[in-house]
Structure 1
């Protein structure tokens, strides 16, 4: 049986690299768009084509989509407070529009858009479902919401299947965004803010990859949204303590009131952001300890036959083992 030809944007990111490795291992014909060829050297000789360009490059996107059956759009501008605010809209919204239009023009059958659970912000009623109200809390989440809505509104107009995935918090080998937490835990300098009783929903990278493949392969789901998450969500305190256990240290002993650090974050941002300096403390980082992030994956289980296998304790063990093996811890 001939395997699909797949196009991937954001192929060198954490999720993108794991997806591409799985696609290659499974025998798919893979075409990738990258900004920096040096970050894609590992793919040379393994993928069908590497196209160098950014998400605003229409010519590069048109080339990427040629002969493709399924496009997986992962590119997004993540939160960097010192960056220009307009970049969020340019990449998250306009970039998505450009990629989708290129896919439609090339005759791509299915366009899989990677959104974020952040479109729900701080979840009021848990667990949230795919139909829970939008509640974005910052510019990143607002632009991701706009991009998602654009894709869903285009479903009936483009003559192409469009499916949206909202992954919960990704972690696993290769994840550098959460490395700072693990390093601070190892040094016993990590502290918590507030009681940490709100829920946190993570998903191990291998389970997330399986979820994406289910979305690519399941028929009759155009215009739908799916949460792809781990088998459980837990109070944030349990999430942090599980990470500490995997590192081999006791739970954090430093605890501070929420109001103090949130106020400090407001001051830091008011000084640093206008100067395009990355603040040492962000409101979003403080909200990490306060926001409720619990999501139902029942729809994915039922419709996609998605079945996450890696629980939090096992996933943390594997993640820490990778950090240690590669000299990060």
Structure 2
């Protein structure tokens, strides 16, 4: 696997080891790590892992506002690196390559629930690089016996997660009134351990190839989510209504348009394909997941 130091990667490594899988980790800083094999990026896959069941690629560039992160940086991390890793996996006879992409390849908002066949509409350097990575991987695996699985998760939440979920928690904990009372657009989230379970399912299931939109039923409008979070934290949400268009206009002035879009525009996922093709059921229900995320 790659990306073991990231938020999702840490959860994946933990669950893979708990389930008794033999794991090797590609990392930029190889170290002794509790019996887990660590390999520098670019190193050939060792003999012990030739013919492995899968290589799961979580390495990439996201959750960054670094001004230097232009197209080239995203393209290297989210397009060129996955292709190099996939080529190494292919040459080593690894049976399946699991690429973690993003629901953002379909855009940041949608009036209809998104499926694997929804139109691609990337609108940032990050999501455009993810699309290029997906397309290059499809081309690489088109004429090989090995399988390619691409998973497109929505916003991932869980204990200590980055992103808007963490921002909402911090806002809620201030106790200040929040202007989201009229933000009724619903967004899909996925709990980190459910996403990891899906990735491991893709790595092992005989049907684990193709594209999968990820979800687990964690679908919320912001007021609903804030009230549920407030109940768990013992800090009731104090909300007042401001038209979402006004919130987006104010966010645009301070350079936070995309973040506000992610709170005030609809984006739901339809993950029927994962349920039916992989016979997959998320192990943790949304209510329990929210409680664990806030513990």
TM-score by length of 2: 0.88
Contact 1:231 1:310 (8 Å CA) reproduced: no
Listed as ranges, the gaps of 5+ residues in structure 2 are none
Q: Secondary structure at the match of 1:289?
A: helix
**How far is the alpha carbon of 1:261 from its aligned partner?**
4.6
Q: Does 1:71 align with 2:64?
A: no
State the secondary structure of the residue aligned to 2:143.
coil
How is 1:254-293 mapped onto 2 (pairs within 5 angstroms)?
Answer: 254-268=240-254, 281-293=255-267
Q: CA deviation at 1:168?
A: 2.4
1:46 aligns with 2:35: yes
Q: CA deviation at 1:267?
A: 4.5
From 84, 89, 95, the equivalent of 2:69 is 84
Per the alignment, in what secondary structure is the counterpart of residue 159 of structure 1? coil
Counterpart of 2:288 in structure 1 is 314
Post-superposition shift, 1:181?
2.3
The counterpart of 1:24, out of the listed 12, 17, 35, is: 17
Q: What's the CA shift string for 1:267-306, capped at 9, x where partnerless? A: 44xxxxxxxxxxxx42211211233221111111111111
- 1:176-255 matched pairs, under 5 angstroms: 176-177=162-163, 178-189=165-176, 191-192=178-179, 195-222=182-209, 224-255=210-241
More displaced, 15-24 or 121-130? 121-130
Q: Is the 2:53–2:204 contact (alpha carbons within 8 Å) kept by the matching residues of 1?
A: no
SS in structure 2 at match of 1:295:
coil
1:148-163 correspondence runs (5 A): 148-163=134-149
Aligned residues: 291
- CA–CA separation in structure 2 for the residues paired with 1:160 and 1:22: 24
Counterpart in the other structure of 2:87: 101
Structure 1 position 65, deviation (Å): 9.2
State the 1:266 CA deviation.
4.1
Whole-angstrom distance in 1 between the partners of 2:47 and 2:219: 37
